[in-house]
Structure 1
Amino acid sequence: MNYDNKPDHYYSKVRFEMLKYLPDHATKILEVGCGNGCFGELIKKDNNKEVWGIEMMPEEGEKAKKVLDKAFVGMCEDFINDLPDNYFDAIYFNDVLEHVYDPYALLKEIKKKLSDKGVVISSIPNIRYHNQMTMFLWKKDWKYEQHGVMDFTHMRFFTGKSIKRMYEEAGYVVKTNEGIRRTKSLKPYLFNILFLFTQMDIFYLQYATVASKS
């Protein structure tokens, strides 16, 4: 899969909206898909935390090594055994699990790296976002793009319901599973009128999920 054609901001975008899901007790954090380390660097700066990262792209991973406490460069699955067991209070997957061939197996494996009160935190695109619903329901199309919900590098597509089920089937207890990055468009309201306001999830570009191992 070719990630070289991504926009310039793809590996350096700070997900500020995901900071609120970090538990107060968390002191050791791992970010899978850390890009150049900008998100982890922000956590370290504001909270004085220990932050590790894993990044697939070599150039970005080398940048992450300079700002994080420790960073691995390569596929996440290749470094599972290098991570200490029962260590991390929080493991972030910001827009990562949809790029993984088998995210279900990865979540099961990474669970043993969590501390007793540790959580996995993820953001995952919502395939039921109103733009996508319009595309395949009304336009009868399924068109891939350079980034976004229909990113051509996505291996999996999720709804809010399927995200929750994935975590539960991997043995987690889901604490939070909520839509984020709500659209300001009026189009979802028109869609909901047709379906008696039973499709409120289409307002949200992504879902943020927090799950513990017990």
Structure 2
Amino acid sequence: MDYDNKPEGYYDNVRQEMIAYLPDNANKIIDIGCGNGAFAEILKQKTGGEVWGIEYMEEEAKIAETKLDKVFAGKCEDYLDELPDKYFDVIYFNDVLEHLTDPYMVLGKVKHKLTPNGVVISSIPNVRYYDTFLKVLFQKDWKYEGHGVMDKTHFRFFTGKSIQRMYEEEGYTILRHEGINKSRSIRPFLYNIPVLFRHMDIRYPQYATVAKFM
């Protein structure tokens, strides 16, 4: 997979909008797909807790090791069984699940790693985002790109509805599920006029989800 040619800042992106979903009482956190640890380091500073990471890119994982309590380098699927059961208050997946061949299996395993009140927090691209959806609908094209919704390293593609269904099929209860990073373009509104604004989800390039295993 072409993970070496990502744009500058890809591995040190601090997702401020995702920090907003962090529970107040989080003490033990793991950031799966942690990059160089920039985001997870902020979580550690904010909570004063124990923060782990898993990162596919070895060089980025080495940097993350200098910031976090424990870091695994390699495919997250290779380490899930090594993680302690009922240990983490929060498990983050920031734009990670779509890169996995079987995100259902991964969600099925990590639910056993959560404390009784623990949550999984994820950001997942929305394939119905207007810029992507219209290329399929009107240009009859499905073009992969270097990053974004149509990142060529994505194995899976989701809508808001299918994200929610994936979690529920793995036994989770959805606590929050909403579009994030809303487009400032007026075009999604214009496209919605003929359908009486029934498809406003096309404004969002990603969905944030907070889910608990019951």
Q: Distance in 2 between matches of 1:166 and 1:6?
A: 28
3-state SS, counterpart of residue 12 of structure 2? coil
Quote the residue 2:49 is aligned against: 49
Quote the residue 1:153 is aligned against: 153
Q: Deviations over 1:16-70 (max 9, x none)?
A: 0001111111100000000000001011112212100000000000000110010
Quote the residue 1:164 is aligned against: 164
Q: Distance in 1 between matches of 2:115 and 2:46?
A: 22
Structure 2, unaligned runs of 5 or more = none
Residue 67 of structure 1 pairs with residue 70 of structure 2? no
- How far did residue 119 of structure 1 move? 0.3
Q: Distance in 2 between matches of 1:40 and 1:189?
A: 36
Q: Distance in 2 between matches of 1:5 and 1:158?
A: 24
- How far did residue 2 of structure 1 move? 2.0
Give the ranges of 4+ consecutive aligned residues of structure 1 lying more than 4 Å apart after TM superposition. none
TM-score scaled to structure 2, two decimals? Answer: 0.99
Residue 128 of structure 1 pairs with residue 111 of structure 2? no
Q: State the AA in 2 paired with 1:148.
A: G
- How far did residue 117 of structure 1 move? 0.3
Q: State the AA in 1 paired with 2:179.
A: G
Identity rate, percent? 59
Once the two structures are superposed, the pairs formed by residues 65-104 of structure 1 within 5 Å of their partners are 65-104=65-104
- How far did residue 100 of structure 1 move? 0.3
3-state SS, counterpart of residue 181 of structure 2? strand
Equivalent residues, number: 214
Q: Deviations over 1:54-96 (max 9, x none)?
A: 0000000000011001000010010112111000000000000
Q: State the AA in 2 paired with 1:76.
A: C
Q: State the AA in 2 paired with 1:11.
A: Y
Residue 174 of structure 1 pairs with residue 174 of structure 2? yes
Residue 22 of structure 1 pairs with residue 29 of structure 2? no
Residue 116 of structure 1 pairs with residue 149 of structure 2? no
Q: Distance in 2 between matches of 1:86 and 1:104?
A: 19
Q: Distance in 1 between matches of 2:74 and 2:132?
A: 31
Q: Deviations over 1:125-162 (max 9, x none)?
A: 00000101111111111111000000000000000000
Q: Distance in 2 between matches of 1:85 and 1:154?
A: 29
Q: Distance in 2 between matches of 1:2 and 1:51?
A: 28
Q: Distance in 2 between matches of 1:152 and 1:2?
A: 8
Q: State the AA in 1 paired with 2:48.
A: N
